[in-house]
Amino acid sequence: MRYSRSFIYTLKEEQKEATIVSHNLLLRGGFMVKLASGIYNYLPLGLKVIKKVSQIVREEMDRAGAIEILMAAIQPAELWKESGRWHEYGKELLRIKDRGGRDFVFGPTHEEVVTDIVRKFIKGYKQLPVNLYQIQTKFRDELRPRFGLMRGREFIMKDAYSFDKDEQGMDLSYQKMRDAYNNIFRRCGLNFRSVEADTGSIGGKDSEEFMVLSKTGEDEIVVCDRCDYASNVERATSITEDEPGEEMELKKVATPGKETISDVCEFLGADPKFSAKALVYRNDEGNYFCFFVEGDDELNLIKAMRATGSIEIEMVSDEELENLGLEKGYIGPVNFPNRDVKVLCDYRITKRNNLVVGANEHGFHLVGAKYGRDFECELADLRMVKEGEICPKCKKGRLKKMRGIEVGHIFKLGQKYSKAMNAVFLDENGRAVPFYMGCYGIGIGRTAQAAIEQNHDEFGIIWPISIAPFEIEIVSLDTRSEEIRNYCDSLYELFEKEGLDVLYDDRDERAGVKLNDMDLIGIPIRVIVGKKSFEEGKVELSLRRDRNKEKIDKNSVLDRVKELRDKLYRELEEVRR
C-alpha cells in the first residue's frame, strides 16, 4: 500500500474521548473513528488489524475442526421467547420492530439461532459432534460504553457453538476449544491467563475466561503464587485462617448514632471481623434479600445473585428499608423482623463464636451473637476473596489480585438451550436426546485493542507482527531525489511481489512528520531510506520495539527483512511466560 494513495489520517492531538492509551492510539493513528456512543467505523488500518486477528482465529478454529458459517444479525423474537431469554436478557438486548410490528432483536449472541439451525439438520447421533462458528458484528446496548473497542455496543465477535451427543463429548469439544484459544492468543502476541469464571446470563456450568493482563482491565482476577489456580474474583474462593473467638453471652447494648461497622466496632472496642454487616437487596422479581457478611468483608454481588437465582439485583433505598420495617444501621440476623425478606449468611459468619450484630432496634446492637445458638438462616459463599488468602486448590500458595481484559470466554452450556428449544437427536437406542452444547466467544476488536494496551510506548503502538496492519514500512525521507524515489519504488514493488505486507510512505512530507507517523502506527519492521546513508549505498533497518538501527547495504534489504520477519513470527510460536 502506498501511503499517498491510502486513507490514513493521523491526529496530532490527544483525543478527549479516550481515557486509556489504547483507545487514544487507535483514534490518533487513524485506525477508527467514532460514529455514536460505543459504535465505531473501522478505517483501513483498523480493518487490516481486524482481518489479521480474524485470520488467526479462523486458522485455529478450522484446525480444531470447527466449521465457519455466517448467521443472520437480526433475529426473530420467537426464538428468544422459546429459550426464555426474551424476558431474561434485560436492557442490553436491542429490540426492534419491523413494519408489521413484529418483534426482532439485533443479535448480541447466537445460541438460539445456531440451535435452530442444528435442530433443522441434525437428526441422529452419527452426525455428531459438530462445531459451528462465525465472525460477525453483534450489538449489546451496554449500560456504559467506554474505552473504544474494549466495551463498545457494536462489536465484532467470533462465536462458536459445539453440539455433542453426551457430556463426555461436550467436555472434549470444550477441551479442543481451550487449546485453540491458547494458540490464538499466543499467536496474537498477548500475555494472558485463563481463569475460572462466572457464566452470567449465558448460563451453563463450567466456564473459563481468557484474560489479557493489564492494569486497565475491567475485570479483577486472582491467581495463586504457587500453582496454576486462577479465577475471576466473581467466583474466586479461598481458604481463610479462622479464629473462632471466645464464646460469650448474647447481650443488648446501646450504640446511639453508631450506624456503620467502623463506628460500632470502634465504639464497642470490637474487631470488625467479629461483626456482621447487613446488605439488603431487591432482585428482578421483586424479592427482597438480606445478606450478612463479616464486617471487614465485601459482598460479592455475583455470588449473591447466584445464591438467590437472580438476574439483576439492586440495593434498596432508605425509604424501601423503612417500608420493610428494617432499621438502617441496626439490622441484625437475630430475630430478623421481616419474613418477606429472605436472610442469607456467608459461611464465615458461622465460624465466629461471638459477633456484634444489629439489634433491629434503633440505637442498639447485640454482642456475643453466635450462629446456630442465637440465629439460623440459609448459608452461602457470599464474600469477595482478599489478596493474601490461601489458594483453594493447592492449599499452600497465597492469592494475588491482578486486572485483566476479557478477550475470550468458553462455556459448557449443557442442555439448557437444547431442552428449552426442543433441539434433539436420536441416540443409539433411538431415544430423543437434547444436544449437549458448548459456546465459545472471542472479541476480535477487543483482542486488537488489548494488544495495544500491552504493547505501546510514549510514541505510539508497537504491534506484534502477527496482527500489525502491515508487517513492514518503507519510509522515503527524500522524495525529491529521483534516485531515492526510484530505489524506494522498486524496493516497494519487490516486497509486494515477494508477498510481504508492506506500507510505503511515499508522501511528500517532512522527515519528522513521516517518522512520527511511523512510530504512532507502530508497524514492526521499518526500512528508512534517507539521503545520508543512501549516498554510502546503505539504508536503515529497525524494529519498532527497540531503538537500534542497523545500516545495511541497499541491495541486500530483502533478505534481511525476511529474516527479521521470520524471527518475529517465530517468537510468537514459542511458549510464553
Partner RNA sequence: CGGGGCGUAGCGCAGUUUGGUAGCGCACCAGUUUCGGGUACUGGGGGUCGGCGGUUCGAGUCCGCCCGCCCCGACCA
Q: Which of 56, 278, 399, 439 binds RNA (CB under 7 A)?
A: 278
- The radius of gyration computed from the CA coordinates of the chain, to the nearest angstrom, equals 29
The reply on whether position 5 binds RNA by CB under 7 A is no
CB of 523 to RNA, least distance (A): 13
Which is nearer to RNA, 146 or 351 (by Cβ)?
A: 146
* Spatial separation of the C-alpha atoms in residues 457 and 453, rounded to whole Å: 10
Measured from the CB atom, is 296 or 374 closer to RNA? Answer: 296
Our CB check for RNA shows the closer of 144 and 431 to be: 144
Phi-psi group of 189: left, alpha or beta (phi > 0 → left; psi -120 to 50 → alpha; rest → beta): left
Q: Interface residues for RNA in 145-174 (CB under 7 A)?
A: 145-147
Q: Is 443 in the site for RNA (CB under 7 A)?
A: no
- 277 near RNA (CB under 7 A): yes
d(CA 556, CA 539): 10
Query: Least distance to RNA from the beta carbon of 533, Å?
Result: 4
The residues, ordered by sequence, that sit 6+ positions from 482 with a Cβ below 8 Å of its Cβ are: none
Of 215, 339, 480, 570, which lies in the binding site for RNA, with binding defined by CB under 7 A?
A: 480
Site string for RNA, 47-86 (x = CB under 7 A): ----------------------------------------
3-state SS class at 463: coil
Give the whole-angstrom CA distance, residue 148 versus residue 400.
28
Decide if 193 contacts 404 (C-beta within 8 A).
Answer: yes
Q: Does 531 bind RNA (CB under 7 A)?
A: yes
* Residue of 64, 261, 359, 407 interacting with RNA (CB under 7 A): 261
16 is a contact residue toward RNA (CB under 7 A)? yes
CA distances from 546 to 94, 355, 456, 510 (A): 45, 59, 11, 23
Under the binding rule (CB under 7 A), the answer on residue 218 touching RNA is no
> If binding is defined by CB under 7 A, does position 353 make contact with RNA?
no
- Closest to RNA by CB, 13 vs 574, is 13
| Interface with RNA (CB under 7 A), residue from 123, 251, 419, 549 | 549
Of 294 and 471, which CB lies nearer to RNA in the complex structure? Answer: 294
Among the listed residues 3, 89, 163, 281, the single contact to RNA using CB under 7 A? 281
Q: How many whole angstroms separate alpha carbon 128 and alpha carbon 165? A: 7
Q: Which is nearer to RNA, 551 or 576 (CB)?
A: 551
Q: CA 82, 88, 92, 98: dihedral to nearest 10 degrees?
A: 30
> Could you give the dihedral angle defined by the CA atoms of residues 479, 485, 487 and 492, in that order, rounded to the nearest 10 degrees?
90
Among 197, 307, 439, 528, binds RNA (CB under 7 A): 528
Quick one: which segment of 207-215, 400-408, 415-423, 515-523 binds RNA (CB under 7 A)? 515-523
Q: Which residues pair with 172 in a beta bridge?
A: none
List strand residue ranges (DSSP E) for 337-398, in order.
Answer: 341-346, 355-361, 364-369, 378-380
Please state the φ and ψ torsions of residue 178, each to the nearest 5 degrees.
Answer: -60, -40
Give whichever of 331 and 448 is closer to RNA, judged by the CB atom: 331
Collapsed DSSP state (helix, strand, coil) of residue 540: strand
- 128, three cell numbers: 455428531
- Figure out which of the listed residues 10, 55, 287, 415 binds RNA, where binding follows CB under 7 A: 10
Figure out which of the listed residues 68, 166, 206, 259 binds RNA, where binding follows CB under 7 A.
259
Member of 141, 206, 478, 489 binding RNA (CB under 7 A)? 478
Q: Name which of 23 and 119 has its Cβ closer to RNA.
A: 23
Nearest-approach distance from CB 247 to RNA, in angstroms: 25
CB 157 within 8 A of CB 442: yes
Nearer to RNA, 79 or 93 (CB): 93
Asked if 534 interacts with RNA (CB under 7 A), we say yes
- 441 close to 159: Cβ distance less than 8 angstroms: yes
Find the binder of RNA among 347, 364, 459, 569 (CB under 7 A). Answer: 459
Interface with RNA (CB under 7 A), residue from 69, 74, 143, 394: 143
Quick one: 97 or 549, whose CB is closer to RNA? Answer: 549
DSSP at 346: E
| Cell numbers placing 468 | 500489525
Residue 124 is which amino acid? Answer: G
Only one of the segments 6-14, 174-182, 238-246, 339-347 lies at the binding site for RNA (rule: CB under 7 A); that segment is 6-14
d(CA 380, CA 301): 12
> What is d(CA 262, CA 295) in angstroms, rounded to the nearest whole number?
8
Q: Mask 309-338, x = binds RNA (CB under 7 A)?
A: -----xxxxx--x------xx-x-------
Q: Which of residues 100-129 bind RNA (CB under 7 A)?
A: none
Burial class (CB in 10 A: 0-12, 13-18, 19+), 476: buried
Q: Which residue has the cell 449465558?
A: 202
Q: Is the N-terminal amide bond of 44 cis, ω within 30° of 0?
A: no
Residues of span 288-307 touching RNA by CB under 7 A: 295, 298-299, 301
- Rounded (to 5) percent helix, strand, coil in the chain: 30, 30, 35
Q: Which of 177, 211, 529, 568 binds RNA (CB under 7 A)?
A: 529
- Binding residues with RNA: total (CB under 7 A): 64
> Vertex 567, ends 484 and 189: CA angle to 5°?
110
Q: Which CB atom, from 15 or from 55, has the smaller least distance to RNA?
A: 15
- For residues 415 and 434, the answer to whether their CB atoms sit within 8 Å is yes
Rule CB under 7 A: which of 358-397 touch RNA? 358, 384
- Best CA proximity match to 134, nearest among 161, 116, 108: 161
Contact residues for RNA (CB under 7 A)?
A: 10-17, 19, 34, 36-38, 143-147, 259-261, 277-281, 295, 298-299, 301, 314-318, 321, 328-329, 331, 358, 384, 459, 477-478, 480, 510-513, 515-520, 528-534, 540, 549
